[in-house]
Chain A
């Protein structure tokens, strides 16, 4: 099935424990975050009311009146659970592990936010300055940041790989022209562009992706250009050309698979930079609009409220942990793909 080189690379990757375990943990976290609604949510997993079962997690809003409460807006399931317990009427509510979502303000009248971590209130990492649960903000913020980094990666690699391959394959004037264009393009200070855009329109997920792709696709071109140059000079390319293969076919079927190691090695680092730039933009206030859960926003709240040390420490640890894991994975992949260790000529 797999070619022997891939198997060797995989074995090598597995043998680097740091990277391997990071990949498993991060992959696991990513998968869990996809079903975050089941773990961290203010909607109940299951409500049993008058003999009927309800599963509110993914459906529409169930108004309080459905459960015999006196309001038409969304049921407060934490209160409902409490009420059912007190009444002992056989009704019950099963809440997720962390019974808060990333937007609601769990405000008290006897204390002012931010509230410190507490097991009793189920705010395991405390709340931010408007009483929103930090675990919830972290989990949903993680999902958004990783999603953002992946979308950004796919878009900017697609553009960068295409242009880079074309530059290396055709060379000559085409290559020269694009090299100069990219150099000029690279001198545009992209952070300022984002700041200007953010002050005129409210950026959303997709506008941010578009702006960052427009200014971020160029970095991949240089590597792809060199690898394509290298591969193009090989005999198999000449053979393919002699058999009458078209340029797109040569690039797509023959050259690209042979440059994959270059691409794969860069992926983890691009993800790290994607997460870091979204966090930085949110921190500066030019990122996703409020009240989107975001690590950058939490970090800026944390630095403004250094007295409430739980904010800055939880988000700080989370950022460091994720970026560290991504870097370990990158390191392991680079090591695994390193031709110095594994070649057919060994």
Chain B
């Protein structure tokens, strides 16, 4: 062999080795490397738990506490449920980590991990009362900001270690530590959660920052435990624990992980939670396989082939057009339209009042009356969505249901625009105002938006607004950039939706003058009104439910009167498709079900309503056989309006 050939050969082999080690192999080597590293790394002791002056729980458990529990509300799972089977679902991208805190832990996969970290108490999805989970009983302290929990004696982690009060004490130190690289949690567990105390191995107390009405206490201060025996803190904790799933207290824990392909959630064997009244007959599949499919349309094809069990049909196009397929016509797949009652996203057109024109309330009112949402709903959205009446909605008694949204009305728009001086039209039919110095100002605004799916809605609104002599320029940016522009208050009109959660609406972040005229705050209308500020602070500080409800009604009315936003649409339902071997209770779902085929513990943030369905393996055989033979039965379309307003 000549020398040149030898070098080429060696080079080739070297490249091959590199290639082999580069693909596939690095998945396992990554893991083992990081474990090795941690053994040589020095562990850091978490800083001791500290308490600020003026805060602190009593050293001895007060003996006059009234211990509460709730085992009287109706069960919402079906006694017909059968356990077993594999539920197959999908996500758009593989998670960047299996941690539940720290960098990159806020991706969509967190929706599978976090619900399995149970809290002491959850809320009943129908009655909305607290229900026992990790805690059997709870009691409120006299100061209105303290809550005591008795931990379930049989509660244990998925690795068999019992859950004790130490896990809570560990959690607050963990969440305050720098090693987790999570500033938001650091801040929340320092500023909002002020103290935690272990009274005995199964009794703890938690103190929050402000007094809250009892119904809000669990949601705000009812933090969960963290497995003390599992975490060895070090400066490289974030990297070391990146792919190490934490033991859970919930029904599922992470099983097989095939990087880039799928993740399995396995049901914990002899899960302790089945002792609890509201957990019975739920979380029926033995395994949940979450596949990574990078495109919605591809996932849809997988679903039609029966490789995925359920699919969301909330978007009108899917429900009306894409679901015209033989698997639906032949009755293999059912369509479900289920109305629910949960806080709706505050979607609207938010007007920046710092803009010289938008500072004028008449112009804002004129704009409100030039937005033809009804036409968008009737045509593009196929009449499925509904007009959103108020800024915040879906919080039960807190909702101000007397407010009517401003409708598309050219006469009213005309009146308000005339009042603002825009009483002529230019050659293109857009209104203009002649200012004192003879300058012409055109009635034209930029609409900043970041969701390309909403372009068709804006196109219709734009054409309709022309009739009122108002010009809208559509500025579509990438979603992160558009949000940044809004937070920097560089927008004129912001097409935006805020997610809503919790038991009551929030006004401080969106309308308090502290947040107006400053960048990086959620007051994107820059609305400032001293009278409103006073009421917002009263609302925040009050622990009296009746007073809070009254204040919320007044505040919502003030928001409406200020006309700083045009509420858009709401989607008061979930729509899904499922192969008929996926069975649901006869009542399909609960008041708080944001998805009927949610395999997890929570729904809508604070309620425990998921995991109601089960897999009928006999039916599966039947359907697959029928599909092979080409037999069909009548199509299944279920519309459940039990919770329709």
Contact = CB atoms under 8 A, between A and B. Distances in A.
A79 interface: no
A105 B245 CA distance: 52
Q: Which residue among A72, A105, A198, A307 has the maximum number of chain B CB atoms within 10 Å of its CB?
A: A105
Contact of A199 (B324, B427, B477): B477
A290 B458 CA distance: 9
B425 A61 contact: yes
Interface in B441-459: 452, 455-456, 458-459
A117 interface: no
Given A60-B427, A113-B379, A130-B380, A72 B414 contact: yes
Given A130-B380, A199-B478, A305-B321, A74 B466 contact: yes
A90 B584 CA distance: 66
A104 B463 contact: yes
A169 B378 CA distance: 67
A96 interface: no
Given A112-B320, A307-B321, A74 B474 contact: no
A60 B481 contact: no
A144 B502 CA distance: 50
Nearest to A128: B456
B469 A289 contact: no
Nearest to B467: A73
B378 to A, nearest CB: 6
A107 interface: yes
A239 B476 CA distance: 59
B491 interface: no
Contacts of A200: 477, 481
A73 B426 CA distance: 11
Main secondary structure on A side of the interface with B = loop
Contacts of B466: 73-74
Contact of A289 (B324, B380, B414, B476): B476
A71 interface: yes
Contacts of B455: 290-291
Contact of A71 (B458, B462, B467): B467
Contact of A107 (B375, B452, B458, B477): B375
A99 B380 CA distance: 22
A208 B207 CA distance: 57
Interface in B254-299: 297
A74 B468 CA distance: 10
B477 A202 contact: yes
Contact of B459 (A71, A130, A304): A130
A202 B478 contact: no
Given A199-B477, A199-B478, A72 B425 contact: yes
Contacts of B619: none
B429 interface: yes
Interface string A54-92: 000001110100000001111000000000000000000
- Greatest chain B CB density within 10 A among A60, A61, A304 is at A61
Contacts of B481: 199-200
Interface of B: 297, 316-317, 320-322, 324, 375, 378-380, 382, 410, 414, 425-429, 452, 455-456, 458-460, 462-463, 466-469, 474-478, 480-481
12 contacts: A60-B427, A63-B425, A72-B414, A103-B459, A107-B375, A107-B460, A108-B379, A130-B460, A289-B476, A290-B455, A291-B462, A304-B297
